[in-house]
């Protein structure tokens, strides 16, 4: 099946006529569809139409904007099973994981529908007969560039607040999961969104993404993806374009000496191997008290071996494939690095040829013990179900190793020792700290973002007023005098 871009209220091919294929990562013989491979001309056309459309949308007022978002949430809720099945086919995650993500979109739209009604200004003391106050106005045209690992929820948590604040949106989904971008736009149109307000442009990062950063008329850009690409975007944008970048993590779970090891193993299993390890907050390092080291490695190895891999649509499967061949090659490379550095692979690696998984990008959940402190496995983002385990002597060493990476997104602590938990929470250079729960999973009403190379620190994602500050501008108005 062939799909189209959506520009100016019409479904249209790329102006160049170029297309690209998208295939199921669990079965490469399964062609999902042909998608337009957009470029500079498509982006220019989208900027023009969205620029013309957003002032009318802003003028409709918050109740009208909230109404569309509430309707979109209801439509998504009615299509969860259908969209989840397509998400599993396109991205590879299990049906349970896909349903959870699809449900999350509806929650995002409902939350930001409420935020549309809560946008407010302030008033300030002035001499008698005068008043100073602030008003909010939309930023204008917001470009949204999203990754393949959460193609629905990442898009929803960017597009929903942008629309709630009265902006227009140019949306570039990942070329790895274009169908999910298509479905999300269809939901918004069915909910009554004005047709010229939202543009969907399929295509590759080096073409569409680059065009978005160089085309005049884009007022704000929000991106989630790799640090390398995020920095390319930041360098390309002019100073008058707002920029929000979320760019990955190398997340650790710290298991202290008082921890229950069955509980710790389950927390790590969910954080490291859920979603095939392809979450920016996924656990990729375990720092465990030396007294518990051998026992935890054994329990974690057993937990990994209890996971069933395969196509996410199959009954009983609890972990799907990696999303791309490049990811599979990367895992292979790091398994080689682990052996070179003296790491001990207790379980995992590529499945045997007899497993019947040769048509997809499959890897078994992998545990690597005895990892030296200077190992790349403790610093580099692998983005796969691969976890490196290292013994620690005390809380101070745990903090030191956890922070010894260029990323600073999420860390979790398994302990009931409140003094140690608070010490880690206060000292660690990570934007998200979880206690007795996996590094994955965050609340949509709480701010989200990392430190160091995980974020450009301009604005947090998710949450309430802090998010709307990115998608709106504040002007000061003086009355009287």
Tokens 């990008």 map to which residue? 361
The first and second tokens of residue 351, run together, are 């499945």
Q: Say if residues 34 and 20 touch (Cβ distance below 8 Å).
A: yes
Q: Is 174 exposed, middle or buried (0-12, 13-18, 19+ CB in 10 A)?
A: buried
The first and second tokens of residue 463, run together, are 């949450």
Q: At what angle do helices 418-427 and 395-402 cross, to 10 degrees?
A: 30
Whether 246 is catalytic is yes
Query: How far apart (Å, rounded) are the C-alpha atoms in residues 375 and 233?
Result: 30
Query: How far apart (Å, rounded) are the C-alpha atoms in residues 363 and 322?
Result: 7
The first and second tokens of residue 250, run together, are 């190398």
Q: Pairing between strand 168-172 and 141-145?
A: parallel
DSSP-assigned beta bridge partners for residue 387: 367
DSSP-assigned beta bridge partners for residue 337: none
Cα angle 271-275-278, degrees, rounded to a multiple of 5? 85
Q: Which of 357, 440, 449, 435 is nearest to 97 (CA)?
A: 440
Q: Which of 479, 440, 445 is nearest to 462 (CA)?
A: 445
Q: Say if residues 385 and 366 touch (Cβ distance below 8 Å).
A: yes
List of residues 6+ apart from 115 with CB closer than 8 A: 161, 164, 464, 467, 468
The first and second tokens of residue 243, run together, are 């920029």
Query: How far apart (Å, rounded) are the C-alpha atoms in residues 376 and 386?
Result: 13
Query: How far apart (Å, rounded) are the C-alpha atoms in residues 481 and 479?
Result: 7
Helix (H) or strand (E) segment spanning residue 451:
strand 451-452
Tokens 């000061």 map to which residue? 476
The catalytic residue among 246, 341, 393, 400 is 246
Q: Which of 352, 382, 275 is nearest to 320 (CA)?
A: 275
H-type helices in 317-444, by residue range? Answer: 325-340, 395-402, 418-427
Helix (H, G, I), strand (E, B) or coil at 12: strand
Q: Say if residues 255 and 276 touch (Cβ distance below 8 Å).
A: no
Phi, psi of 138 (to 5 degrees): -65, 160
Which active-site residues does the annotation give?
Answer: 246
């Amino acid at each position: 099946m062939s799909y189209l871009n959506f520009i100016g209220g019409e479904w249209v091919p790329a102006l160049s006529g170029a297309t690209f294929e998208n295939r199921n990562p669990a079965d490469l013989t399964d062609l999902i569809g042909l998608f337009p491979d957009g470029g500079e001309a498509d982006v220019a056309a989208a900027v023009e139409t969205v620029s013309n459309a957003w002032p009318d949308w802003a003028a409709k007022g918050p109740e009208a904007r909230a109404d569309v978002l509430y309707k979109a949430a209801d439509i998504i809720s009615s299509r969860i099973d259908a969209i989840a099945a397509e998400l599993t086919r396109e991205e590879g995650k299990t049906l349970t994981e896909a349903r959870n993500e699809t449900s999350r979109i509806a929650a995002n739209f409902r939350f930001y529908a409420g935020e549309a009604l809560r946008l407010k200004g302030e008033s300030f003391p002035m001499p008698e007969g005068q008043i100073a106050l602030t008003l909010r106005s939309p930023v204008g045209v917001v470009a949204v560039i999203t990754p393949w690992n959460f193609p629905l929820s990442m898009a929803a948590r960017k597009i929903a607040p942008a629309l709630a604040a009265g902006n227009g949106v140019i949306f570039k989904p990942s070329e790895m999961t274009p169908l999910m971008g298509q479905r999300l736009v269809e939901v918004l149109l069915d909910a009554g969104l004005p047709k010229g307000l939202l543009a969907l442009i399929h295509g590759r990062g080096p073409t569409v993404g680059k065009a978005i950063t160089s085309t005049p008329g884009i007022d704000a850009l929000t991106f989630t993806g790799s640090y390398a690409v995020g920095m390319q975007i930041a360098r390309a944008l002019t100073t008058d374009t707002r920029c929000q970048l979320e760019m990955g993590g190398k997340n650790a779970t710290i298991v202290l000496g008082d921890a229950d090891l069955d509980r710790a193993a389950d927390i790590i299993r969910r954080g490291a191997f859920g979603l095939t390890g392809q979450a920016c907050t996924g656990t990729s390092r375990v720092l465990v008290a030396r007294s518990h080291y051998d026992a935890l490695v054994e329990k974690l190895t057993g937990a990994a071996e209890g996971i069933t891999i395969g196509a996410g649509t199959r009954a009983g499967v609890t972990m799907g494939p990696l999303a791309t061949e490049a990811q599979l090659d990367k895992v292979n490379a790091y398994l080689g690095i682990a052996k070179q550095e003296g790491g001990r692979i207790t379980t995992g690696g590529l499945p045997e040829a007899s497993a019947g998984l040769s048509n997809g990008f499959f890897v078994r959940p992998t545990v690597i013990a005895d990892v030296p402190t200077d190992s790349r496995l403790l610093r580099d983002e692998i983005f796969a179900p691969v976890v490196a385990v290292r013994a620690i002597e005390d809380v101070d060493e745990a903090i030191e190793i956890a922070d010894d990476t260029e990323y600073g997104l999420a860390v979790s602590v398994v302990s009931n020792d409140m003094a140690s938990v608070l010490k880690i929470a206060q000292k660690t250079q990570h934007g998200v700290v979880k206690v007795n729960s996996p590094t994955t999973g965050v609340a949509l009403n709480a701010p989200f973002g990392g430190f160091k190379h995980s974020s450009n620190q301009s604005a947090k994602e998710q949450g309430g007023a802090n998010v709307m500050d990115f998608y709106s501008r504040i002007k000061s108005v003086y009355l009287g005098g």
